Amino acid sequence: MQERLQKIIARAGIASRRHAEQLISSGQVRVNGRVVTELGTKADLATDRVEAAGKVITASEKLVYLALNKPTEVVATMTDPEGRKTLRNSLRGFPPRVYPVGNLEYAASGIILLTNDGDLAAELLRNWEHIEQAYHVKVKGMLTLHDLAQLGKEAGVRMQTLRQPDSTRGRAANYWYEVRMRDTKKEQLRRVLFKAQHPVEKWIRIGLGPISVEGIPRGRYRELKTSELEALRKAASPVRKTKGPARSS
């Protein structure tokens, strides 16, 4: 069956759908030995030889979905030109090629999704702003209940106090809070807290849509459960509100 080249490349785990389009446009894809640069080109793996970025795509790989607990000071990519640690360091011994969906900044830790399912990755990224994320955030100082309500409203997020690790020993000077938000609100929250003289000191992403970091040691990963994958697919395809019929005047 013929399919678009970018779909074939993404499903093979070589690149995301968007990156696959860039590979095609830049002349890094060949079909039966001929360079192809047109994005609408189709091929059939049963009869055609497809090469992308120097790799021959021979057959559809098993689709893999991983939840990884990224440590701090790790780049959320599979390679880094500066030689820093990447997600690949946590995947040693895992044979299928996967790549991260979305990003998690270098200084932050927590849950990140990796897959070789290009279709799902593209759908998730297309609807990223609709997927709720949960963080544990450490700020300078302590926020009152009034601060939580006021600053949360200003940033467009939901905030609540967490039990402080050192509070029983009287050493908690900088406090932790749980924040639930869309990814688009993260920088807004950072600005709001900085303006209120409670700058963010640490970020830990504990939840990404239906996926939780709970039970995954730092630097380790696990495969998603079927129920999590189904919930993730629903999160990737939010129900869009349709406009009703116009009222006649």
* Region at 102 (left for phi over 0; alpha for psi -120 to 50; beta for the rest): left
Would the CA dihedral through 84, 85, 88, 89 be positive or negative? Answer: positive
> Per the structure block, which two tokens stand in for 65?
């979905």
Strand 200-208 and strand 109-115: the pairing is parallel
> Is 83 in contact with 178 (CB distance < 8 Å)?
no
pTM over 0.75, yes/no:
no
Give the pLDDT score at 168: 45
DSSP state of 12: T
Q: Where are the domains of the chain?
A: 3-57, 65-128+215-227, 132-208
3-57, CATH topology level: 3.10.290
> Per the structure block, which two tokens stand in for 156?
């467009």
Shared fold status for 3-57 and 65-128+215-227: no
> Is 221 in contact with 67 (CB distance < 8 Å)?
yes
Euclidean distance between CA atoms 198 and 217, whole angstroms: 29
What is the CATH architecture assignment of 132-208? Answer: 2-Layer Sandwich (3.30)
Cα 123–84–207 angle (5° rounding)? 40
- CATH code for residues 65-128+215-227: 3.30.70.580
Q: Go through 143-160 and write b for each residue having 16 or more CB atoms within 10 A of its CB, e for each that does not.
A: beeebbeebbeebebebe
Euclidean distance between CA atoms 134 and 119, whole angstroms: 24
DSSP state of 75: B
Nearest to 107 by CA among 73, 71, 75, 133: 73
Per-residue pLDDT of the chain (249 residues; tens, 9 = 90+): 788 998 888 877 788 888 899 999 999 999 999 999 999 899 988 788 999 998 888 766 678 999 999 999 999 999 999 999 999 999 987 877 899 999 999 999 999 999 988 888 989 998 998 899 999 999 999 999 999 999 999 999 999 998 766 554 445 578 999 999 987 788 999 999 999 999 999 999 999 999 999 999 999 999 999 999 999 988 877 655 444 454 443
